[in-house]
Amino acid sequence: MKKRTLTSIFIVLAVALVVAAKFLPHTIGDYIFDIFILLLTFVASFEMCLLLEARNKTVNRILVCFYGVFNYVVLLIFKNIVSYYYVLLIQLGLLFIYFIATLLVEILAEKKSLKANFYNSLNSLIAYIYPTFLFTSFLFINHIDEFAGVNHMSVMLILLVIATTFLTDTFAFVFGSLIKGPKLAPKISPNKTISGAVSGLVGGVAGAMLVFAIFYNIPQTQIIITSFSLSWWKFLIIGLIGSIFGQIGDLLESKIKRVANVKDSGNLFPGHGGMLDRIDSMILVVTFMTITSLILIVI
């Protein structure tokens, strides 16, 4: 219990420091946050490889782990050349090219049949998409100020992701443990209850409304709310949908572990499992928030 508590404090402090760094001058904090996300992605991608290999699936660990860096380089190259949504489209196209490159690497290795090489490449593609491609959309959010032309919008979106995810998990755990009742998905995650899931939705909404209250009442950030007509009820909807995606992400990772017949994705954090265990709820929330930010900018 002591290790788990200390680990929780360490995680909270690390996240708080990285977010606080966003206020450093000359976009220094942006790149600190980029490095932080890339480190998380690298470890989570490696753990995903291990989960796939636990089911006797062959993956190219090197290409999987460095796909996040490739994605980041593409962002840096194109973010000052084309519009926000075009960068996303370019990355989607290059994901296919990266898959073809993986297939060529497998073929050139001359170790297995063409069919086996193709299936091995598909296994790597799974890891490219989950968690790497989805989670590195955090990098888009981190640089959205440049696309939107509004300062601190990236901080607002980052806090929305963190607050929605954290309070969803917290409310689901606390009130689910107190109320108990019918299980949500006993074959996937035996400890989750319907009462916990509903409580998690309340937590997600509370997190989003907290971010709205903070940004609405600070003159320097109120311009974000007014520029994009972000009324309180829009934050409520974002928190609700974000909470749903967070809980789906949690169940998805639980299903992957269940199929791999393991309890945790790793043992990086004492009492908390691996990196993928820590960011599982956040992966789909980040993806949802990226799509939301795209809609805000385009519309």
Distance between CA atoms of residues 281 and 249, nearest Å: 5
Q: What is the mean pLDDT of residues 20-41?
A: 93
Average pLDDT rounded to a whole number, residues 118-147: 94
| Confidence category of residue 6, pLDDT binned at 50, 70, 90 | confident
Residue 292, pLDDT score: 92
Render pLDDT for 248-266 as a digit per residue (tens, 0 to 9): 999 999 999 999 999 888 8
Check: CB of residue 22 under 8 Å from CB of residue 30: yes
Residue 299 pLDDT grade (very low, low, confident, very high; cuts 50, 70, 90):
low
Question: Contact 230/261 with Cβ under 8 angstroms?
Answer: no
pLDDT class for 14, splitting at 50, 70, 90?
very high
291: confidence class by pLDDT, cuts 50, 70, 90: very high
Per-residue model confidence as pLDDT tens digits over 219-249: 888 889 988 888 999 999 999 999 999 999 9
Task: Please give the Cα distance from 280 to 61 (Å, whole number).
Answer: 20
CA distance 299 to 294: 8
Beta carbons within 8 Å of 208's beta carbon, 6+ residues apart: 160, 163, 164, 235, 236, 238, 239, 240, 242
Which of 228, 223, 226, 237 is closest to 288 using CA atoms? 237
The band of 69, judged by pLDDT with boundaries at 50, 70 and 90, is very high
* Confidence (pTM): 0.93
Q: 186 phi and psi, to 5 degrees?
A: -60, -30
Q: What mean pLDDT comes out for the span 34-62? A: 95
- Residue 80 has a pLDDT of 84
- The owner of tokens 């000052």 is 80
- Is the predicted pLDDT of residue 1 greater than 70, yes or no? no
Phi, psi of 26 (to 5 degrees): 60, 35
The more confident residue out of 53 and 26 is: 53
